[in-house]
Amino acid sequence: MSRRNSLRFRILVSFVVAGAVLGPLVTTVMLWATYTIEERTAAQGATGLLEDVLATPHEYLLQRLSTDPDLYVLTRLRASSLPPELARLPDGVHELETDSGAWMVALATTTSARYAVVEDITTLEQRERVSVLVVVAGTSVAIYVSLWLGFSMSRRLLLPLTRLSQRVATANLAGEDGQLAREFADDEVGQLAAALDRYGDRMSAALRREREFSADASHELRNPLSVIQNAAELIEADAASSERSRRAAARVRLAARRMSETVSVLLTLAREDLGSAMQAEAVPVADCVEALIELRVTEQLFRIHFTATTGRQLLFFRQGNHQ
């Protein structure tokens, strides 16, 4: 059977999972949503500027790339600092990243020329990379804090349950009337204590009924057993009794003695106080085994003799009827 993890261990794992998974997950989702909104905002801004440039290009200070003089660029950067890959991009909105930086580019072609709006988003991309490192570092810190909180909170949360366990281990539930529930607050642990009190009451009632039944049954059996044992001894001592009768009487006497011993044990158990411990007593095992073997041999011999005698009588009865 596999070993079940303790409740404190499961609480600790819950804290660690919450700190190492839930916290970074929420942070990552929030950062992703923030940067997605910023990139979409930059893309929409570049698209809006491009539409204005296409409508009135003469109102803007446009620059030409040295690698592509037919491309007119609207940007706050110098044309020489823009990457040459920009001219090879198709029309539309693009996010261009190179070793030197990142740009949001919106391009469109008209019958007379080609226009582009370029926004520098290098700072935004650097913030994304830093945020990833912060999330990784924050995860390590969250695991450490979750472990500390898990150890601290699990000890405090399980303290009433531990105290209840110790109290149950040392208490006599069958002899106390609602004692456990009075020692704990009216919460889940208090409800568990009340349930243990109710269980103790039921156990006490069941033990009391069992003791009463054992005592009554034992007292009612002692007198008939004494009569049976005395009658068997008289039959054994009677010289006029046959050998078969004396063997049967010996078997009855042994059975009555065994039943009398059982009744004595029942009386001892019925009179035993629930709060006291029974004392151990050394018993000679060899004598017990010898007596048991003797009893079994006697019973077996009587059974064989009874079977043989009954068989002869039945055979004689059948032969008489046949004749």
Non-local CB neighbours of 217 within 8 Å, separated by 6+ positions:
266
The confidence score (pLDDT) of residue 47 equals 93
Q: Where are the domains of the chain?
A: 7-152, 196-273+284-315
Q: Average pLDDT in the 1-13 region? A: 66
| Stronger pLDDT, 85 or 8, i.e. the higher one | 85
- Nearest in space to 142 (alpha carbons), one of 3, 302, 26, 235: 26
Q: Average pLDDT in the 234-252 region? A: 81
| Stronger pLDDT, 320 or 16, i.e. the higher one | 16
Residues 61 and 50: beta-carbon distance below 8 Å: no
The confidence score (pLDDT) of residue 51 equals 92
CA–CA separation, 247 vs 229, rounded Å?
14
CA–CA separation, 58 vs 224, rounded Å?
129
The confidence score (pLDDT) of residue 308 equals 54
- pLDDT higher than threshold 50 for residue 283: yes
Q: pTM higher than 0.85 for the full model?
A: no
Band of residue 91 on the pLDDT scale cut at 50, 70, 90: very high
pLDDT digits (tens, 9 = 90+) for 27-86: 888 888 888 898 899 899 999 999 999 999 888 989 988 888 888 999 988 888 888 888
Which range among 50-59, 146-155, 161-170, 305-314 has the greatest average pLDDT? Answer: 50-59
The confidence score (pLDDT) of residue 66 equals 80
Strand partners, 109: 114
The confidence score (pLDDT) of residue 44 equals 92
The confidence score (pLDDT) of residue 323 equals 44
Q: Average pLDDT in the 106-110 region? A: 92
The confidence score (pLDDT) of residue 244 equals 82
- pLDDT higher than threshold 90 for residue 286: no
The confidence score (pLDDT) of residue 275 equals 44
List, as one string, the DSSP characters of 200-257. Answer: HHHHHHHHHHHHHHHHHHHHHHHHHHHHHHHHHHHHHH-TTS-HHHHHHHHHHHHHHH
Q: Average pLDDT in the 174-185 region? A: 66
pLDDT digits (tens, 9 = 90+) for 260-279: 888 777 777 666 554 444 56
List, as one string, the DSSP characters of 65-112. Answer: -SS-TTEEEE-SS-GGGS-GGGGGSPSEEEEEEETTEEEEEEEEE-SS
